[in-house]
Amino acid sequence: MTTAVDVDRNTELTDDQVRFYEENGYLAPLRLLDDRQLQEMRHRLEKMICDDYSRADELVSPPRVKAGEKPRMIYFQRAWRVDDMFRDVVFSPRLTTALCQLLGTDAVRFFHDQIFYKPAGDRGVASGLFVLDAHHAGGAHHVFHVPGRCNAGERVPARDPRVT
């Protein structure tokens, strides 16, 4: 199988990047794809959401947008199972090496992918609900406000800090 992601470049994060992550809880940007690869993934995603996509039955919650229909916000899973390029990104040393460094482990396990397709101008919002206790010291999820990207919020812990 030919790898669609360049795996020959240096894949390790710098000490400054790891330190930034430890101090702030996120790391950006981490460029996994060049512009050509990103355009190719967008093209493949556009095909994947179509009603006539040949492998739609292998997706979890396949979108099936009919020809001429304007797609709205879409969520589905298993893109990595139906497309080599999506799989290559998931298992790219550029991603897995960085995750191992940030998590302080020798290996990471892939649970599943999630594709959130949100066309420009769609006012839909993607959110998550975490039902297990999450503590900041243990790597709790956070929601970040990205200036210019949305109209709400600031960094908020997934677990209410008032609850003990």
Q: Is residue 1 part of a domain?
A: no
Instruction: Looking at the structure, tell me whether residues 84 and 152 fall in a common domain.
Output: no
> From the CB of residue 3, how many other CB atoms can be counted at a distance below 10 Å?
15
Instruction: Looking at the structure, tell me whether residues 23 and 76 fall in a common domain.
Output: yes
Q: What is the pLDDT of residues 66-106, one digit of tens each?
A: 999 988 888 899 999 999 999 999 898 988 999 889 888 88
Q: Is residue 67 part of a domain?
A: yes
Instruction: Looking at the structure, tell me whether residues 107 and 140 fall in a common domain.
Output: no
pLDDT higher than threshold 60 for residue 161: no
Instruction: Looking at the structure, tell me whether residues 94 and 154 fall in a common domain.
Output: no
Nearest to 48 by CA among 72, 73, 83: 83
User: Sign (positive/negative) of CA torsion 72, 78, 84, 88?
Assistant: positive
Q: What is the pLDDT of residues 101-128, one digit of tens each?
A: 988 888 888 888 888 888 877 776 665 5
Instruction: Looking at the structure, tell me whether residues 78 and 53 fall in a common domain.
Output: yes
Instruction: Looking at the structure, tell me whether residues 74 and 148 fall in a common domain.
Output: no
Quote the number of domains for the chain. Answer: 2
Confidence of residue 136 (pLDDT cuts 50, 70, 90): low
Supply the pLDDT for residue 120.
78
Q: Is residue 6 part of a domain?
A: no
Instruction: Looking at the structure, tell me whether residues 162 and 102 fall in a common domain.
Output: no
Instruction: Looking at the structure, tell me whether residues 100 and 22 fall in a common domain.
Output: yes
Q: Is residue 114 part of a domain?
A: yes
Mean pLDDT of the chain: 76
d(CA 59, CA 154): 34
Give the pTM.
Answer: 0.67
Q: What residue numbers bound the domain in which 92 lies?
A: 15-124
Q: Rounded to 5 degrees, what are φ and ψ at 115?
A: -105, 120
Instruction: Looking at the structure, tell me whether residues 58 and 139 fall in a common domain.
Output: no
Dmax (CA) for the chain in angstroms is 52
Instruction: Looking at the structure, tell me whether residues 80 and 139 fall in a common domain.
Output: no
Instruction: Looking at the structure, tell me whether residues 60 and 140 fall in a common domain.
Output: no
| The two three-digit tokens of residue 43, written as one number | 């093209």
Instruction: Looking at the structure, tell me whether residues 91 and 163 fall in a common domain.
Output: no
Supply the pLDDT for residue 69.
92
